[in-house]
Structure 1
């Protein structure tokens, strides 16, 4: 319990020192579509699954910044940005940051596996939200939608539409957010 209290305190203290207005001012290129919230927002605790059926929730990623991308195979802009998300995970992914891509609704696992192989997507696991439990609770009404979570597991920004996530502008902005806590 003491660890949880300390983790929550540190997470809140970190955001208190952060400056969403400054991050908004840093946005360039596709990142102009990434809108930082004035205050962190809670996220759903709904579960999603990996290719083997193991359950996960966004709470499993607590302690790091997480870029959660909701996508589908039938969504052309979604398919176009997946290689960039994979490259971003390959470059920035680790103890402080992770890209989580969730295939929403009906996406056949063999088709996703073929898509990953065809586009050399090696750094992203296959994660599924087949009943739209998480995406519905997070108000994902269109695809793609990408949300940025702080280490406390709260939504601090949202982008509607696709983006060049492996661009210099995106990496610079994400590094600044991570540096601020």
Structure 2
């Protein structure tokens, strides 16, 4: 309970003390969308995100507020969803590329996804960086307006949705890496211009 209160306080402080990137000139970020990332839609105004909890694989509760202060790529997926499985290795590579740079990828398996099936898929696909989270009853996905899978949502460090895409994408493409780099710069999360775009 105390952890959630601290996270909520931090979220509020960040919201009051920073200018959301969507309110700034985002055209430079949108211009970076190429190939499968062209369908990534940026909002003209940031949107609120769900406060509902999800769980780690070992059953610990988290909320998006626990990730305040980072640029988050929230990915709703399922083990039975072929496009979800197709894009997961690229999400894993993106997470590794930006590790420690103010960026986090949160894959949330929504609906019925048995733990053994998730573990087997992560092992088979050699997913090493990502840690799966669970939304077993789909409550958070519904609260976020997710109607199909996969859905990827970019969340600002202030905890607001700034962009969304339904369908799979190559999240390790030069376009994806450039978008993340530009957003990290927009939010002042990194001064590291040495990120190499593969």
Q: TM-score, normalised by structure 1?
A: 0.93
* Cα distance per residue 1:64-89 (max 9 Å; x no partner): 10000000011100000001101110
Aligned to 1:70: 76
Aligned to 1:8: 15
> How many residues are treated as equivalent by the alignment?
180
Q: Distance in 2 between the 1:171 and 1:96 partners?
A: 14
Aligned to 1:44: 50
Aligned to 2:34: 28
> 1:160 pairs with 162, 166, 170, which one?
166
Q: 1:77 to 1:94 in 2, by over 3 A?
A: same
Q: CA shift at 1:162, angstroms?
A: 0.2
Q: 1:20 to 1:72 in 2, by over 3 A?
A: same
Q: CA shift at 1:94, angstroms?
A: 2.3
> 1:57 pairs with 54, 63, 79, which one?
63
Q: Distance in 1 between the 2:155 and 2:49 partners?
A: 9
Q: Distance in 2 between the 1:61 and 1:135 partners?
A: 17
Structure 2: gaps spanning 5 or more residues: 1-5, 188-198
Q: Distance in 1 between the 2:179 and 2:41 partners?
A: 12
Contact 2:40 2:165 in 1 (8 A): yes
Q: CA shift at 1:93, angstroms?
A: 2.7
Q: CA shift at 1:126, angstroms?
A: 1.7
> 2:182 pairs with 167, 171, 176, which one?
176
Contact 1:93 1:99 in 2 (8 A): no
Aligned to 1:80: 86
Structure 1: gaps spanning 5 or more residues: none
SS in 1 for 2:31: helix
Q: 1:18 to 1:56 in 2, by over 3 A?
A: same
Q: Distance in 1 between the 2:180 and 2:84 partners?
A: 20
> 2:150 pairs with 144, 148, 153, which one?
144
Aligned to 2:196: none
Q: 1:121 to 1:16 in 2, by over 3 A?
A: closer
